[in-house]
Amino acid sequence: MDYSQFRRPRRLRRNPIIRAMVAQTSLSADRMIQPYFVGQNQPAPFPIPGMPGILRESPDQLRRSIAADLKLGIKRIMLFGVTDHKSPGAESSYADDNPVLVATRALRKEFGFDLFISADVCLCAYTDSGHCGVIRGTEIDNDASLAVLARMAVKLAEAGVDWVAPSDMMDGRVGAIRQALDAAGFTGTGILAYTAKYASSYYGPFRGAAESAPQHGDRKSYQMDWRNRREARVEAQLDLDEGADVIMVKPALSYLDIIADLAESTDVPIAAYNVSGEYTAVKLLAKEGFAAERDLVLENLTAITRAGASIILTYHLRDILREKWLS
């Protein structure tokens, strides 16, 4: 007998009803988080260059946008603060008028626990250097940065966030934040750690949004080197030992091997950040008519899910729900 044509994989691709039955991956908005930028001196919404549909807003404008987004079905958000009060010690990161704190208090009051609120913990929007840690002499002072990050995290918990998400990549930050939260009584506040955050060129549009570009040098002494794969496991081990609830890989699309490794080598949920430059790339391809935006978005988010991520932070979420791309 000729076995070469005995197995025919195309039988399972024959029509949509079969394909839907055998699909191994599906997407759900319940696993997606929409990022938002909240500014301090923000009289009018500022459209982020290169990111159509994404704005930087005042706390009050944000509250209105989120009310509309909740109706669409966006129930999970990540907040990033932007301020021009920048200083060597990043004091505005934990000041009472930090726009993320102001926004969080208002959101929690208005929407209660219908809205899941997470907030970025990092110093780059608050240091005059634009670096993610405080600087002593010519170098980042890792351990001095931990105290500031922990202080910021406790203020966020007080304001009512569900999760804090440290993105600074200082060594020991998850442990410092966990200890500070617990000492202040916030044992229920979760930590979504940016565990494997690479020094990527795909953050370009974000830095315009957050006004957080480094004023000198780059982030390569703290963000990971993209030549390294196994190092992500070291970071994951540390973050889990220090108390992380969820670990994240960032960016997502060029790092699917890292997502797959961590999904296989750990037992916690894996998040992936579909970052600003990845969003811009899709928008540009679609705008130039090289592909349909829906198809690009679903292919990208499915790939991230297929690699092993169960949670995705993505700027596409609003379009997905508005255009009903998942149904």
Binding site for ligand PBG (CB under 6 A): 120, 122, 124, 132, 167, 203, 206-207, 212, 219, 275-276
Nearer to ligand PBG by C-beta: 119 or 180?
Answer: 119
Segment holding 197, helix H or strand E: strand 190-197
Q: Please measure the distance between the N-terminal and C-terminal CA atoms of the chain and give it in whole angstroms.
A: 44
**Which residues form the interface with Zn ion (CB under 5 A)?**
122, 124, 132
Tokens of 319: 């379009």
For residue 276, the partner it binds in ligand PBG, Zn ion, none, with Cβ less than 5 to 8 A by kind, is ligand PBG
For residue 127, the partner it binds in Zn ion, ligand PBG, none, with Cβ less than 5 to 8 A by kind, is none
Is 324 a known active-site residue?
A: no
| CB 11 to ligand PBG: min, Å | 41
Nearer to ligand PBG by C-beta: 89 or 184?
Answer: 89
| CB 303 to Zn ion: min, Å | 26
Nearer to Zn ion by C-beta: 203 or 283?
Answer: 203
Among the listed residues 86, 250, 283, 324, the single catalytic one is: 250
Is 220 a known active-site residue?
A: no
Strands 139-140 and 135-136 turn out to be antiparallel
| CB 276 to ligand PBG: min, Å | 3
Nearer to ligand PBG by C-beta: 7 or 220?
Answer: 220
Question: What is the C-alpha separation between 103 and 141, in angstroms, rounded?
Answer: 30
Peptide bond into 9 cis (omega under 30): no
Nearer to ligand PBG by C-beta: 80 or 265?
Answer: 80
Segment holding 151, helix H or strand E: helix 142-159
The set of residues, in sequence order, having a beta carbon less than 8 Å from that of 290 and lying 6+ positions away, is none
For residue 98, the partner it binds in ligand PBG, Zn ion, none, with Cβ less than 5 to 8 A by kind, is none
| CB 36 to ligand PBG: min, Å | 12
Nearest C-alpha neighbor of 118 from the set 41, 11, 32, 202: 32
| CB 222 to ligand PBG: min, Å | 9
Among the listed residues 75, 109, 155, 197, the single catalytic one is: 197
Question: What is the C-alpha separation between 118 and 36, in angstroms, rounded?
Answer: 10
Torsion sign (Cα): 214, 119, 133, 244: negative
- How many of the other CB atoms lie within 10 Å of CB of 27? 17
Question: What is the C-alpha separation between 324 and 305, in angstroms, rounded?
Answer: 19
Q: What are the catalytic residues? A: 197, 250
